[in-house]
Amino acid sequence: GENVEQHPSTLSVQEGDSAVIKCTYSDSASNYFPWYKQELGKRPQLIIDIRSNVGEKKDQRIAVTLNKTAKHFSLHITETQPEDSAVYFCAASRQYKLSFGAGTTVTVRA
Amino acid sequence: EPEVTQTPSHQVTQMGQEVILRCVPISNHLYFYWYRQILGQKVEFLVSFYNNEISEKSEIFDDQFSVERPDGSNFTLKIRSTKLEDSAMYFCASSQGQRNQPQHFGDGTRLSIL
């Protein structure tokens, strides 16, 4: 089955700096890659997704890149703000189920 | 914005008892999912459901688990004889379509087995 590796596990950044989280996946048939943000005790919230026919996608301060050949994808958050502090999960899917990475705890220091 | 709703928010159950977790997916969504998250760990897929049938299930989803859509709005997860290791947050999700469609999660039910 699909195996998704995510790193780093924790990330501390100064407010205003950028944050980058990287994921790799094992199943070359995976074609959908969402990113979720989860605040403590809350639901995972979809923040951005990318499909395998696209290399990059942006939405305001967040962007995702996908390298199908290398089987890795990354989340980029620019101009980080305190409200960006949360756990971020990447996931990969080829049909029904989402296979999640282990998560990255992002802390934005004021 | 429409949301997936789950009840109860917290369920405490004695080991060996049956428990039913309830979900109301977003109304125009056709695909439904259950995931679980053990404290501090990653979210794990349990089962997907479409057209009143299980479309995929994980190795976690053994004979103790079942899912049902008893009416036009609810989607339930039943655990027949709970074990201590079933303690986790259980999330329901739904999506409009099968492929490449965003899955929207509910707030979850925290299940505590004593």
Using one digit for the tens of pLDDT, what is the confidence trace for A38-60?
A: 998 889 999 999 998 889 999 99
What tokens does B49 get?
Answer: 């459901």
Which residues in chain A have Cβ-Cβ distances shorter than 8 Å to B105?
A: 36, 43-46
What tokens does B42 get?
Answer: 């990653």
Question: From the CA of A5, how many Å to the nearest CA of chain B?
Answer: 11
- pLDDT for A49 equals 96
Test the B interface: residue of A6, A43, A49, A105 with most B CBs within 10 Å: A43
Q: How confident is the model at residue B9 (pLDDT cuts 50, 70, 90)?
A: very high
- B60-67 long-range contacts (CB < 8 A, ≥24 apart) are B60/B36, B67/B32, B67/B34
Question: What pairs with residue A75 in β-bridges?
Answer: A21, A64
Asked whether the beta carbons of residue A43 and residue B100 sit closer than 8 angstroms, the reply is no
Report in angstroms the alpha-carbon separations of A56 from A7, A11, A64, B30, B38: 19, 22, 6, 28, 32
A 10 A CB-CB count for A49 gives 20
Asked whether the beta carbons of residue B33 and residue A102 sit closer than 8 angstroms, the reply is no
- pLDDT for B61 equals 96
- pLDDT for B110 equals 96
Give DSSP secondary structure letters for A57-83. Answer: EEETTEEEEEETTTTEEEEEE-S--GG
Tell me phi and psi for residue B72, to 5 degrees: -75, -5
Question: From the CA of A67, how many Å to the nearest CA of chain B?
Answer: 17
Reduced to 3 states (helix: H, G, I; strand: E, B; else coil), residue B86 is helix
- pLDDT for B1 equals 79
**Backbone dihedral region for residue B40 (phi beyond 0: left; psi -120 to 50: alpha; all else: beta):** left
Q: Whole-angstrom Cα distance, residue A86 to residue B100?
A: 25
Asked whether the beta carbons of residue A89 and residue B102 sit closer than 8 angstroms, the reply is no
- The beta-carbon neighbor of A100 closest among B42, B48, B98 is B42
Test the B interface: residue of A36, A50, A98, A99 with most B CBs within 10 Å: A98
Q: How confident is the model at residue A96 (pLDDT cuts 50, 70, 90)?
A: confident
- The beta-carbon neighbor of A102 closest among B42, B45, B107 is B42
Test the A interface: residue of B43, B48, B53, B59 with most A CBs within 10 Å: B43
Residue with tokens 């859509």: B69
Using one digit for the tens of pLDDT, what is the confidence trace for B49-106?
A: 998 999 999 999 999 999 999 887 899 999 999 999 999 999 999 999 767 789 999 9
**Backbone dihedral region for residue B51 (phi beyond 0: left; psi -120 to 50: alpha; all else: beta):** left
DSSP A8: -
Residue with tokens 């947050």: B89
A 10 A CB-CB count for A33 gives 27
Q: Whole-angstrom Cα distance, residue A79 to residue A81?
A: 7
A 10 A CB-CB count for B23 gives 26
Give DSSP secondary structure letters for A22-46. Answer: EEEES-TT--EEEEEEE-TTS--EE
